[in-house]
Amino acid sequence: MLSSLLFIPLLGSLLVVLLPDSRKNVYKWITLVACSLELLVCGAIYAAFDPTQADYQLLERFDWISLPLGSLGVVSIDYLVGIDGISLPLVLLTGAVMLVGALSSWTIDKRLKAYHALYLLLTATIIGCFIALDFFLFFLFFEFMLLPMYFLIGLWGGPRREYASIKFFLYTLAGSVLILLVMISLYLSVMDPVETAINIGLIGDRSEITDDIIRQVQFLLADYKIQSQQLVHTFDLRYMAHGGNYLPDSFLGPTGEIIVFGLPSRMLAFLCVFLGFAIKLPVVPFHTWLPDAHVEAPTPVSVVLAGVLLKIGGYGFLRIGWGLFPDGAAEYALLLAGLGVISIVYGGFNALAQSDLKKMIAYSSVSHMGFVLLGIASLTSEGVNGAVYQMASHGVLSAMLFLLTGVLYDRTHDRRIDSYRGLASTMPAYTALTAIAFFASLGLPGFSGFVGELFTLMGSFQSLWLPGWMTAVATLGIILAAAYFLWTLQRMFFGPLWSRTEFTGQLTDLTARERLMLIPLAVLALLLGLFPNLLFNLSNATIAQWIQRFSVE
Amino acid sequence: MFDENTIHTLLWLLIVLPFLSGTLSLLAGRRINLWAGGTAAVLTLAGLGLSVFVATQTGPDVLTLRTDWLLIPGRAVPITFRLDALTLLMLVIVHFIALLVQIYSISYLHDERDRYRYFGFLSLFIGSMLGIVLAGNLIVLYAFWELVGLSSYLLIGFWFQKPAAAAAAKKAFIMNRIGDAGFLLGIFLLLFQSGTTDLAELPDLFVSNGPLATLTGFCLFCGCIGKSAQFPLTTWLPDAMEGPTPVSALIHAATMVAAGIFLLARIHFLLTPDALLLITIVGTITMLMAAYSALYQTDIKKVLAYSTVSQLGLMVIGMGTSNVTGALFHLTTHAFFKAGLFLAAGSVIHGVHSQDMRQMGGLRKAMPLTFIGWAVCAAALAGVPFFSGFLSKETILTGAFDWAGAQGGLAYVIPILAVLSSGLTACYMARQGRLVFFGDARNPENRAHESDRLLTVPVLMLAVLSIGFVFAGNPFSAAQGWFFRLFPAVDNHGGHLWIALLSISVVAVGLWLGWRMPVLTQSTAMSRLSEHNWYLDGFYKRLLVRPFVRLAYLSYGFDRRVIDKLVDFAGIGTVVLAHMIGWADRMIVDGLVNGASWLTHRLGNLTRSVQNGRVQSYIASAVVGLLVILWFLI
C-alpha cells in the first residue's frame, strides 16, 4: 500500500511526459487526479494504521542490491518502506498539501508539461523521504528531491529565480554531503543481524528469524566471533537504531573511543547529521536560502516548500539525528535548544522588519520551525509530541498563508505590504480567511498553532536538560508573532481602502477555486486545534518508545 | 434535583451555544442583519435562565466536569469545568449585562451595515468569557483567556475603516499578549512544581512557600496585569474606547477586564505574602495614576475608561490584602454601575453625536431618564452613601486598613493612597456631571433628545442595581448582606466607623472640588500630565516600541549583510577557487603533461642526433665508451 504512494505520482509524471503537447490542458487534471488518489491512499493508510503499536507498520521490503565484497563484507541495500507514529502524520500532511498545491498550480501558464511532470516527481520524492526506512533509499529521495525543486523555482520563479534556485540547491547539497559521510560511516559500522545469521548458517531463511537469534548474532558480533567476510552490512534504519548491531571497535560503535577533530566520532557524526537537516528545517544561521527561495518560487512551490519540505528537516532530526545518536542528542541538548530559541526570536524579529508579505511569512516559518527544534531538543514526551504536532500544524497553516499571498499576487503582481490599505472593504472573504490564518498562526487557542506551541514550550520547561529561562526567552516568540501578524493585518486590511491606482478594479474577492483551497485548510487547522488527539493518538505510542532511550535511570 | 448528567449537558450547552450562534451569525452574513441582535439576545436570555436554573439545582458543593482533551504519555490535559459559588456569580453577571448590552445594541447600532458581524463577535465574546469563569484548570482558563482577547480585538476594531480603531485593537491584543506570556510561564511553573493546574487538585499539591512560589504567583499575576490593565500595561484600555460604546460597557468595563480579578480570586490560595505585597503595590499605583488621569479628560468615554482602570486597581488592592470577598463584591457592584455609566454615556453620544464633554452641557433637561440613570450609577462609583459602590469600596478600604495595621508602619501608605484616589474618583465624576448634564448647552447646534426605550431601560435597570439596598439592608455595611452570606469572608472585617467617616468626608471634598472645576481648564503641566496619562504612551513608544522595531530592522540588516553575505561569499569563494584550480590545472597539471611531452621530444631529438648514421661517429663513441669502462674497471 505504501509503495502506491510512490508509484501513483511517478506514473502520473510519466503520463504527463508521454502525452503530446497538444493535450496540454489535460496535464493539470492528471496532476489533480494523481494527488487526489494520493490523498485517498493516505486515508486508507490512516485507516490501516494501528496507533497502539509503536513499531514500524505496513512494511514492504525487497532485496535490491546485494554484493559480496570479500573482506569488506556484503553490501546490502534494500527497498524498505514503512511508517510509524512519527512519519504517519507527515505522510498525511504531504497528501493534503500536495493536493492543495495541485489545485493552486492551475494558474501556471507556461511550460505546462515540464511543470506538471516535475511537480508529480516532487510529490513522489517527498513521500519517499517520509516512508523510506533504508538510509540509502531515504538519501536517494532526499537528493532527488532537489532536482524538481531546483527547476520549479528556477524556471517558474520570480525575477531573481536563478539566484534563489542555485542558492537553495547548493545549500541543501552542502547539507547532504555531511549526511552522506555519516551514512557511509554508519554503513561500515552496522550489520544486518538477519542476513548475517543466514550467512553464518544459524538459520536458513529470513522467515526463521526470532529475537533470540538476533540476540545470539549480536553476542557473537560483540565477541569478535564473526569473520568480516560473513558480515552483512546494512543501511536499514531499524538496525542502525539498535546498539547491538554495531561492530565492536567500528568507527561509530557505541563504545568506540575514536576521536576525530577533537570530538568523539559519534558526537561528530551527530553534529554532521544535525547540520545537514538543520539547513532543511531551517535553523538560524543556516536559513538564508529560505526567504529567497520563497520570494522567488511560484505560489504552489512555496506552498509545498513551507508546507512539507521543511518538515523533512524535523523528520530527519527525529529519525536519523536523534534516532541513531541519542547520546549526541543528550550531550548537545542545550546547544540545540539554544539554536531553536534563537530561531524563534530571530525569525520573529526579522518577520517584523519585512515589507514583502511573502518574506514576512517566510521568516515567520523560521520562527515557527524553531519551536520544532526546541521541542525535540527538550527530550520530553510533551516536547517531542508537540514538535511532531507543530510540524503538522505549521504545514497546514503555512500552506494557507502562502496561498493567501498568492491570491493577492495573482491579482496585482505586487506583494509589498505598503501597497495596500483597507483591503477588508473590498475583499471581505479574503480578509476573513487571512485573519483566521494569521490568528491560527500566532497561536490562538482553538486552532492548531496553539497546541504545538503550548506543548513544545511546556516540554522545554519541564526538560531536565534545559534551564527555565530558555523557555522564558522563547515565549518572546509568541509576543513577536502577535506583533508581526497583527501589524500586517492593520496595515494591509484595515483603515480606509487605498491601493496603488493601477490596481483599481483588480482587487476582487476570492474565486470558487481559491475558496476550495483555503476553506478546507482553515477547517483542518480548526479541527486539529479542537481535537488534538486526532494527531496525538497517532504519534503517542511511537514517541513513548522513542523517548525511552532518553529516560534518566 | 436533576441528576449530574443533565447538569453536565446543560453546562456544555451554556458554553457551546454562544459559540454556535456567533459562528452561524458570522457565516450567514448581512442577510441576517435584521435578526442577529434579537436572536443573540434571546439566546443570552436562555443562558441566563439556564445559569439561574443550574444555580438552584446545585447545592453548595463544587461541581466538576472532566473530559479528556489531550493525552500523551506522561501528560494529560483534560478539559475540566468547575461550578462553584464564584462561577455562578460570574455566570449571572456576564449573562445579565450581556443581555442588557445586546438589547441596547439593537437600537444603538440600527444603522450599521454589518450588524451580523457585531452580534457574532459579541456572541464569541460571551462564549469565551463563560469559558473563563467555568474553567476548572488553568490551561483551559488560559485558552479561553486568549479567546476573550480575540473577541476584544475584533470588537475594538469593529469599525476597522477608522485607523485609530484598528491601531487600538492591535495595541490591546499585543499588550494582553505580553501579560499572557507571563501567565503562560506561571502555568509552566505550576506544572513544574506540582504537576497539575487543576484548581481542585492544586491546594493539596502546591506548596505556597519560597521564592519559586512567589515567582509563580507573580507570573500568574502578569495575566491579570494585561487583562485588567494594571500598571504598567494600562494604556490599551483607554484606547479600546474606539470600539462601539456598548462593547466598552460589556467588555471593557463590566466583564472582560474583571477577568483578571476573577483569576486572582481563583489562584489566591497559592500566592505567597511577597507576591501579595507586590500585587497590592501594583494595584495602588494603578488606582492612583488612573484616577489622576481621569481628572482632566475631555472625552466622556475616556473619563470612564480611566475610572475603570482605577477601580480595577482598587479590586487588586483588595486581592493583595487578602480581602477576596471584598474585591469580588466590588467587582459585582462595579460591573453594574460602570456598565450603567457607559450605557448612559452611549445614550448621550447617541443624542449629541459627540464624545467631547466641552460640547455638551445642560443635558439633564433634554435627556432626563439618561440623566437619572447616570446620576445613580455615578453616585455609586463616587462612593456616596446609600449606593452600592460605597458599600463595596468601604469593605476594601477597611480590609486594607486592617492589613496595614497587621503589617505596621509603611504599609499605611497603601490605604491612605486608596482613600486619596477615591477622593479623586468623586472629583472627576462631579466634573463629568457638571460638564455633561448641568449648566447651559455649550453647543447650540446640538438638538439633543431623549433616546428610545431600548437605550434607556437598560441604563435604568443597571441604576436600580446600583442602589445600596439591593446588596444590604444596612446602608453603612454590607457585612450582613446576601453577598457576604454567599461568600463568607475568611476574617470578617468589622466596620470601623472612623473609616466610613473619613471616606465620606474625602468623597464630599472631592465632589465639591470636581463641581468647581472650570469647563475649559487652562493647560498646565499638571493637567497635561493627566490628559496624557502620565505620558506613558510616549514613554513606551520611545523606550520600547521604537527600539523593538529598530531591533527588528537591525536583525534583518544583520541577516542580509552578514549571514547572507557570508553565504554569498562562500559561494563566490568557491567559484573563485574553482577558477584558480582551473588555472592551476591548465598551467601546472597541463603544463607538466606538456612539459613531459616536450622533454620526451627533446630527448628523442638528442638520441636521434646520436644515431646519425655516420660510421666514424659510431666508432668514436664506441672507443670513448670502451675507454670509460676500462677506466672504471682498472
* Number of A–B residue contacts, CB under 8 Å: 137
Q: Residue A234 corresponds to which amino acid? A: T
DSSP-derived pairing of the beta strands A263-264 and A420-421: unpaired
**A420 close to B (CB below 8 A):** no
pLDDT of residue B597: 85
Q: Is the pLDDT of residue A384 over 80?
A: yes
Burial zone of B61 (CB within 10 Å; 0-12 exposed, 13-18 middle, 19+ buried): exposed
The mean per-residue pLDDT over the stretch A98-106 comes to 93
Please answer yes or no on whether A495 and B157 come within 8 Å at the CB atom. Answer: no
pLDDT of residue A78: 85
Nearest residue of B to residue A436, measured between CA atoms: B150
Q: A177: which residues sit within 8 A by CB, 6+ positions away?
A: A276
Using pLDDT thresholds of 50, 70 and 90, give the confidence band for residue A100: very high
pLDDT of residue A553: 43
Please answer yes or no on whether A381 and B166 come within 8 Å at the CB atom. Answer: no
Among the partner-chain residues B174, B191, B556, the one whose CB lies closest to the CB of A458 is B191
**B31 close to A (CB below 8 A):** no
Q: A196: which residues sit within 8 A by CB, 6+ positions away?
A: A217, A221, A226, A230, A231, A232
- Cα separation, B166 vs B156, in Å, equals 8
Signed CA dihedral, A121, A122, A124, A129: sign only:
positive
**A354 close to B (CB below 8 A):** yes
pTM here is 0.92
Q: Sort out which chain B residues have CB atoms less than 8 A from A536's CB and list them.
A: 70-72
**B79 close to A (CB below 8 A):** no
Q: Sort out which chain A residues have CB atoms less than 8 A from B216's CB and list them.
A: none
Q: Residue B348 corresponds to which amino acid? A: V
pLDDT of residue B336: 94
What DSSP string runs through A488-524? HHHHHHSSS-EE-GGGTTT-----HHHHHHHHHHHHH
**Digit-coded pLDDT (tens) for A261-316:** 878 888 899 999 999 999 998 898 899 899 999 999 999 999 999 999 999 999 99
DSSP-derived pairing of the beta strands A74-83 and A259-260: unpaired
Output DSSP code: residue A247: P
**Digit-coded pLDDT (tens) for A419-471:** 888 899 889 999 999 999 999 999 999 999 999 999 999 999 988 888 989 99
Burial zone of A504 (CB within 10 Å; 0-12 exposed, 13-18 middle, 19+ buried): exposed
Residue A499 main-chain phi, psi, to 5 deg: -155, 170
pLDDT above 90 coverage of chain A, percent? 53
pLDDT of residue B492: 56
The three cell numbers locating residue A61:
521490503
Q: Assess contact for B483 and B471: CB atoms under 8 A.
A: yes
CA of B336: how far to CAs of B324, B329, B370, B456, in Å? 19, 11, 15, 15
Q: Where are the alpha helices (DSSP H) in B195-323?
A: 202-205, 210-227, 236-239, 245-249, 259-267, 273-295, 300-320
pLDDT of residue A552: 58
**B569 close to A (CB below 8 A):** no
- Cα separation, B167 vs A73, in Å, equals 70
Residue A38 main-chain phi, psi, to 5 deg: -60, -45
Q: What secondary structure, in 3-state letters, does B275-312 show? A: HHHHHHHHHHHHHHHHHHHHHCCCEHHHHHHHHHHHHH
- Cα separation, A136 vs A78, in Å, equals 8
Helices and strands of chain B, counted as H and E runs = 27, 2
What H or E segment, with its residue span, contains residue B398?
helix B388-407
Q: Assess contact for B225 and B281: CB atoms under 8 A.
A: no
Q: Assess contact for A466 and A333: CB atoms under 8 A.
A: yes
Q: Where are the alpha helices (DSSP H) in B412-545?
A: 413-437, 453-464, 482-486, 497-516, 525-531, 536-540
Q: Sort out which chain A residues have CB atoms less than 8 A from B78's CB and list them.
A: none
- Cα separation, B411 vs B406, in Å, equals 9
Residues within 8 A of A (CB atoms), B 432-491 only: none
- Cα separation, B218 vs B274, in Å, equals 9
CA B496 to chain centre: 36
Residues within 8 A of A (CB atoms), B 154-173 only: 157, 160-163, 165-167, 169-170, 173
State the angle between helix axes of A533-548 and A512-530 in degrees (0 to 180), rounded to the nearest 10: 60
- Cα separation, B11 vs A544, in Å, equals 35
**Digit-coded pLDDT (tens) for B396-435:** 999 999 999 888 888 899 999 999 999 999 999 999 999 9
CA of A460: how far to CAs of A311, A454, B77, B323, B359, in Å? 20, 10, 17, 37, 57
B242 HSE (CA, 13 A, CB side): 24
Q: Assess contact for B254 and B246: CB atoms under 8 A.
A: no
Please answer yes or no on whether B74 and A532 come within 8 Å at the CB atom. Answer: no
Please answer yes or no on whether A444 and B553 come within 8 Å at the CB atom. Answer: no
Q: Assess contact for A148 and A125: CB atoms under 8 A.
A: yes
How many CB atoms neighbour CB B372 within 10 A?
A: 16
Scan for cell 462553584, then name that residue: B84
Q: Sort out which chain B residues have CB atoms less than 8 A from A381's CB and list them.
A: 72-75
**A106 close to B (CB below 8 A):** no
Q: Residue A430 corresponds to which amino acid? A: Y
Helices and strands of chain A, counted as H and E runs = 24, 6
Nearest residue of A to residue B561, measured between CA atoms: A288
Q: A269: which residues sit within 8 A by CB, 6+ positions away?
A: A182, A185, A186, A252, A325, A328
Beta bridge partners of A62: A79
Among the partner-chain residues A167, A461, A479, the one whose CB lies closest to the CB of B188 is A461
Q: How far is A490 from chain B (nearest CA, A)?
A: 6
> Cis bond leading into B232, ω under 30°?
yes
- pLDDT less than 70: residues of chain B: 1-2, 59-61, 446, 489-495, 520-521, 609-613, 634
Among the partner-chain residues B146, B188, B556, the one whose CB lies closest to the CB of A457 is B188
Please answer yes or no on whether B160 and A424 come within 8 Å at the CB atom. Answer: yes
Higher pLDDT, B89 or A251: B89
Range of lowest pLDDT (A199-213, A354-368, B399-413):
A199-213
Residue A59 main-chain phi, psi, to 5 deg: -65, 140
Q: Assess contact for B452 and B350: CB atoms under 8 A.
A: no
- Cα separation, A449 vs B69, in Å, equals 16
Q: Sort out which chain A residues have CB atoms less than 8 A from B172's CB and list them.
A: none
- Mutation to test the B interface, candidates A342, A458, A498, A509, most B Cβ within 10 Å: A458
Q: How far is A513 from chain B (nearest CA, A)?
A: 19
- Exposure b/e, A79-88, CB count within 10 A at least 16 = b: bbbbbbbbbb
Residues within 8 A of A (CB atoms), B 515-554 only: 548-549, 551-553
Q: How far is B84 from chain A (nearest CA, A)?
A: 25
**Digit-coded pLDDT (tens) for B565-618:** 888 888 888 888 888 888 888 888 888 888 888 888 888 887 776 666 677 777
Q: Sort out which chain A residues have CB atoms less than 8 A from B556's CB and list them.
A: 349-350, 353-354
Q: Assess contact for A475 and B185: CB atoms under 8 A.
A: yes
Residue A81 main-chain phi, psi, to 5 deg: -125, 150
pLDDT above 70 coverage of chain A, percent? 99
**B564 close to A (CB below 8 A):** yes
Please answer yes or no on whether A490 and B551 come within 8 Å at the CB atom. Answer: no
Q: B343: which residues sit within 8 A by CB, 6+ positions away?
A: B100, B101, B104, B245, B246, B249, B373, B455, B458, B459, B462
Q: Where are the alpha helices (DSSP H) in A262-380?
A: 265-280, 289-296, 299-304, 310-316, 322-324, 326-331, 333-352, 357-378
Q: Sort out which chain A residues have CB atoms less than 8 A from B146's CB and list them.
A: 443-445, 450
**A385 close to B (CB below 8 A):** yes
Q: Sort out which chain B residues have CB atoms less than 8 A from A532's CB and list them.
A: 69-70
Q: Sort out which chain A residues have CB atoms less than 8 A from B571's CB and list them.
A: 167, 170
pLDDT of residue B302: 93
Q: How far is B116 from chain A (nearest CA, A)?
A: 14
Signed CA dihedral, B181, B182, B183, B188: sign only:
positive
Q: Assess contact for B321 and B403: CB atoms under 8 A.
A: yes
- Cα separation, B297 vs B70, in Å, equals 49
Signed CA dihedral, B285, B289, B292, B294: sign only:
negative
Among the partner-chain residues B173, B549, B559, the one whose CB lies closest to the CB of A350 is B559
pLDDT of residue A137: 92
SS3 A242: coil
Q: Sort out which chain A residues have CB atoms less than 8 A from B185's CB and list them.
A: 461, 471-472, 475
